[in-house]
Amino acid sequence: MKLLVATHNQGKIREYRALLTGLPADLVFLTEIGIELPVLESGNSFQENAVIKARAYAQASGLLTLADDSGLEVDALGGEPGIHAARYAGPGASDVDRYRLLLHNLEGVPWEKRTARFHCVVAIAVPDGRLYTAEGCCEGIIAFAPRGEHGFGYDPVFYMPDYGCTMAELDPMVKNRVSHRARAVQAAWPLLEMLLKPQNRCLP
């Protein structure tokens, strides 16, 4: 049975290939099946946006579909960038542009007030209309400068006190056990196993 992972983000694709290892499904991605459908993330929360994407791509593909919405919530910035994390520095901005803007907006904020969390909501949509969600969070502190070569997005400035390093300094295998996305997938795993059981395989 196929499971469509609905993302064009290459960083997420790499992580999902690792996170979903062992699941009894053939993973496929949007580019592999030729779906270029633009989906407007018009929701006001991670859950709303994940659901919008999962439903749209399940209907377009006819496949069991997993989509997520995730972002970084910084307490000193009132929860920003939040659901706008990928668009924080405007259209066409790079990961570096985004975390540099974040560091600029936190200039003068002391270490103890730079608390933040990565938040991820996974939505799983079945073409027949069934829908399930799961979420995961990862707490940390925004560093004063980027460090590390792994990961993507805001990973170089997300310091994890329990590990004494930024998320971008973590071995990818460790990140795939403790990140917000890893925790959301762990929470979603029983749902995926249930949907992939033979008696539920009414899908391609």
Contact between 155 and 168 (Cβ < 8 Å): yes
Q: Which of 68, 69, 128, 155 is catalytic?
A: 69
Q: How many residues does the chain have?
A: 204
Decide if 69 is catalytic.
yes
Rounded alpha-carbon distances, angstroms, from residue 87 to 107, 132, 175, 181, 203: 20, 26, 23, 19, 35
Contact between 138 and 178 (Cβ < 8 Å): yes
DSSP assignment string, 114-183 = -EEEEEEEEEEE-TTS-EEEEEEEEEEEE-SS---SSS-TTGGGEEETTTTEEGGGS-HHHHHHHSHHHH
Residues involved in catalysis: 69
